[in-house]
Amino acid sequence: MRRRTIGWIPGVLIVLLVLIPVTATAQTPTVIVSNYTVTPAVLMPGDEGTITVMLSSTAPAASGSPLEIRLDGGMGGTNTSTQNAYIESVLLNGEGVEVLTGSFQDIGEIGPGQSIPLTFQIRAPGKEGLYFPEVWVRVRDATGVRYPIPVNVNSAYAVIKRPALRVERTVPASVDPGDPFNVTLTIENEGQASANDISVNVNTTSSAIVPKNSENYYITELRPGTESVLNLTFETDPNAPLGLTPVIVTIDYQNADKTAFRQTAEVGIPIIGRAEMGIASIRTEPSRITAGDQVDLTIRIENTGTADAKSVRATIEDLSLPGSKEAFLGTIEPGNDGPAVFTLEADQEGEFPYTLGIHYTDDYGTHTTRQALQITVAESSTLPLFAVAAAILIVAIVVAAFWYRRRKEE
């Protein structure tokens, strides 16, 4: 059985190299070994143990509220493709360590933001020392991965510790265009070494979202088990497009030996509009209502919000005049209006208060807005009857005068 032996200086250099996570170099999404665990941490010669590796997609995941992303240190940028990576095979090449079980075939697709753990059973060689079995990952149409795992077989050489940052963020469940909102980022060091000179850059991908405070933050040091909380405030454009708008968070930091790391996370901001309903105009036909008239009441209802108002329905409540008192308008888009037409019978004179109810739904749920209105019915006019009677009387007088004159002439 082949064994890799190292001295103190070469061993340290190799450990430094292998602890830098592997990142994708191709545009097609692939996977990285984001974490690993050797159990037990130190094996005796001939002992059996396990190696568990965590394979993570390099494609960023869409975010919600609240969500949590595992950020694992790596050099260079992060692939931002949103496609899946298909893992064809994963093997563990022993390099002096006996691999008892360690072959996985056709694992399948791993999506953006997803991770999958794989466990290998190993047996330590008979001689003490540090060994580096390699995990070989083959990804379809993408760059494969070879990642060495340090295995300590009763060796006095300690594996150099490293920081491991995790960012937890909380975003609003929804943001209405034009409204400000807050995002909380909590950066925690879950590793075994300090992260130094931490620079956090917040970059909005759309001009519809603008940071209200700083875009850059600096943290001097994060010791193992400590965290730092950043409170970010943003403003939105009233015409911001609806949907999930990403904000990119880039974290640069250094290890104790000045090794540079970069980690990138994507925070999705859900822009969801809200419908706002009101009255644009009111018209009656006839314009002057008198007792006994049939009245067509047209109320135009407008949407002054930022999202569609769906299933819009208008009702007249608490009106003592008989007639149709419900109208269905359907969907009203932002900036548009629609007519609600009611037919009433003005069977009596007077002033009649009533309430117009507007019922609608949007992405926030079902809503009802009410507004107090009034309709006036005038007294039925008797002037036409007097005019008719006067005309008849005049005609009668004229006829009587004409008849009297002719009788006199005869």
Residue 408 has pLDDT above 90, yes or no: no
Please give the pLDDT value at position 279: 93
Residue 393 has pLDDT above 70, yes or no: yes
Cα–Cα–Cα angle for 298, 299, 302, rounded to 5 degrees: 140
> What number does CATH give the domain 162-272?
2.60.40.10
Residue 315 has pLDDT above 70, yes or no: yes
| R_g of the chain computed on alpha carbons | 40
90-119 average pLDDT score: 88
DSSP 8-state secondary structure symbol assigned to residue 95: T
Please give the pLDDT value at position 277: 94
Kindly indicate the confidence band of residue 324, based on its pLDDT and cuts at 50, 70 and 90: very high
Instruction: Please give the structure tokens belonging to residue 92.
Output: 């563990």
Residue 337 CA to chain centroid, in angstroms?
29
Residue 331 has pLDDT above 90, yes or no: yes
What fold does the segment set 1-59+83-160 form as a domain? Answer: Immunoglobulin-like (2.60.40)
Residue 2 has pLDDT above 70, yes or no: no
Q: Which residue has the tokens 């009441």?
A: 297
Global pTM reads: 0.49
Taking the alpha carbons at both ends of the chain, their separation in whole angstroms is: 158
Q: How many helices (DSSP H) and strands (DSSP E) are in the chain?
A: 2, 27
Q: Which residues contact 20 (CB under 8 A, 6 or more apart)?
A: 73, 74, 75, 259, 261
H-only helix segments in 246-288: none
pLDDT exceeding 90 applies to what percent of the chain? 36
Kindly indicate the confidence band of residue 112, based on its pLDDT and cuts at 50, 70 and 90: confident
39-43, 60-64, 139-143, 267-271, range with the lowest pLDDT: 60-64
d(CA 291, CA 225): 81
Kindly indicate the confidence band of residue 23, based on its pLDDT and cuts at 50, 70 and 90: very low
Report, at the CATH architecture level, how domain 277-377 is classified.
Answer: Sandwich (2.60)
Asked if the peptide bond before residue 172 counts as cis, ω within 30 degrees of 0, the response is no
Q: How many CB atoms lie within 10 A of CB 223?
A: 13
Q: Report the mean per-residue pLDDT for the chain.
A: 81
Kindly indicate the confidence band of residue 135, based on its pLDDT and cuts at 50, 70 and 90: very high
pLDDT tens figures, 232-261: 999 998 888 888 888 888 899 988 777 788
Please give the pLDDT value at position 61: 53
d(CA 381, CA 302): 36
172-176, 208-212, 400-404, range with the lowest pLDDT: 400-404
d(CA 2, CA 324): 93
Q: How many CB atoms lie within 10 A of CB 390?
A: 10
pLDDT tens figures, 277-299: 999 999 999 989 888 889 999 99
According to DSSP, the residues that pair with 371 across neighbouring strands are: 356
d(CA 35, CA 164): 9
Residue 20 has pLDDT above 60, yes or no: no
d(CA 253, CA 220): 9
Residue 72 CA to chain centroid, in angstroms?
24
pLDDT tens figures, 344-365: 998 888 999 999 999 999 988 8
